[in-house]
Structure 1
Amino acid sequence: MNLYREQLIESAIVAVVMIGLRMVISYFVNRFSDRKNKVKQRANLVMKYVDFILVLIASVFAFLIWSLNARDIGVYASSVFALIGIGFFAQWSVLSNMTSGVIIFFTLPYKIGDRIKIHDKDFPIIAIIEDIKGFHMNLRTDDGGLHTYPNSLIMQKGVTLVQDGVATRIVEPVDGTQDNEHFNKPV
């Protein structure tokens, strides 16, 4: 027991710090969710991403605390990064949509239940947001059609909040462009 006492104490400290950090982040995400009238389920989704990142950080500290040979860590890390690299290269859009989902949660002014118009030259959509998932939005059109629209495309297109057939305000895409020709016109 005395042989690993220092490592056990350091591991306990890291665990307490990570749990405390998670509680603080959770408090601020939930507070933001409540203040901006976001759905609680969306806050829980963001917290899953935060938990994943905290576990990765805690794992790095565990490797350092328990004095694993740096060469061994390099072998494990290169193997993991190779698998992750192949997976993300093959599924780059998954990472893009997941990141966009987090950005949508914190920055964009529309939420579940809002009626929006997506300004897409080839496939414009006027629909009500039924749900915002980690990778896509579920949009319900007036004819009852259900569309799943990738979060990364929502970030790239101009989106107008619509009320009673009239555009009320336009939301600029992240790249700074704006489609003003549809602003304050009946839809």
Structure 2
Amino acid sequence: MLELFQGYQKQLLQTIIALAIILLIRFLLYKTIKRVGKMGELDPNRTRLIFKYFNFFISTVGIFIISIFWGVNIDDLGWFISSAFAVIGVAFFAVWSILSNVTAGIILFFSFPFKIGDRIRIQDKDFPTEGLIEDIRAFHIHIRSDEGELLTYPNNLLLQKGVAQISKAKKDDDGKDSI
């Protein structure tokens, strides 16, 4: 058993260092995303969702780097990744709207132009929408119209259309947003 550890001592050390760096980056990103969410007074669920996206990205890069430390041939890995991206690319092309909505959700998180409880009007000539934002999710937002209808509006259209903020969310006695 000792011979096994001595034979792979360099790879084990590199893996431990890589894991420590990945955990440090993950921790720093968590703090940054949490701070941005707090500054923008965003819903904690949105903050957790953005953290999951970045956590997935960091984990993927970490696995790639650690696999190189353990002697995976870069050419073979390149073939594997290019084949995987070809399959994933076809799948994403088939569901491009999902990808664009998730990307728009990330952009809306970091720019936080509006939040839950705000009253907005979407400047769309075909489907004008006005109401109170009840929820902001990864793919869409929920808007309660004056007639009581719950409208689901895709995030990518929020970036494409003009959005007028009619009023901001009201604060209750604790300083929290109330609808």
Short-chain TM bin: 0.7 to 0.9
- Aligned partner of 1:34 among 17, 34, 38: 38
- Aligned partner of 2:107 among 95, 103, 106: 103
Does the CA contact (< 8 Å) of 2:124 and 2:161 recur in 1? yes
Give distance in 1, aligned partners of 2:75 and 2:133: 50
Give distance in 1, aligned partners of 2:27 and 2:143: 33
Which SS does the other structure have where 1:144 is aligned? coil
Which residue identity does 1:157 align to in structure 2? K
Which SS does the other structure have where 2:126 is aligned? coil
Give distance in 1, aligned partners of 2:8 and 2:167: 65
Instruction: Give 1:99-178 correspondences, 5 Å limit.
Output: 99-163=103-167
Q: Which runs of 4+ in 1 moved over 3 A?
A: none
Unpaired runs of at least 5, structure 1: 165-187
Which residue identity does 1:36 align to in structure 2? G
Which SS does the other structure have where 1:111 is aligned? coil
Which SS does the other structure have where 1:129 is aligned? strand
- Aligned partner of 1:87 among 74, 85, 91: 91
Query: Cα deviation per residue 1:76-119 (whole Å; 9 max; x = unaligned)?
Result: 21221122111111111111111100110111321011010000
Query: Cα deviation per residue 1:103-157 (whole Å; 9 max; x = unaligned)?
Result: 1011132101101000000110011111111111111111111111110000011
- Aligned partner of 2:20 among 3, 16, 24: 16
Which SS does the other structure have where 2:8 is aligned? helix
Which residue identity does 1:159 align to in structure 2? V
Give distance in 2, aligned partners of 1:95 and 1:45: 15
Query: Cα deviation per residue 1:29-51 (whole Å; 9 max; x = unaligned)?
Result: 11111111111111101001101
For residue 175 of structure 1, what is the aligned residue in structure 2? none
For residue 73 of structure 1, what is the aligned residue in structure 2? 77
Unpaired runs of at least 5, structure 2: 169-179
Give distance in 2, aligned partners of 1:27 and 1:69: 35
**Which segment drifts farther, 29-38 or 117-126?**
29-38
- What is the TM-score normalised by the length of structure 1? 0.84
- What is the TM-score normalised by the length of structure 2? 0.87
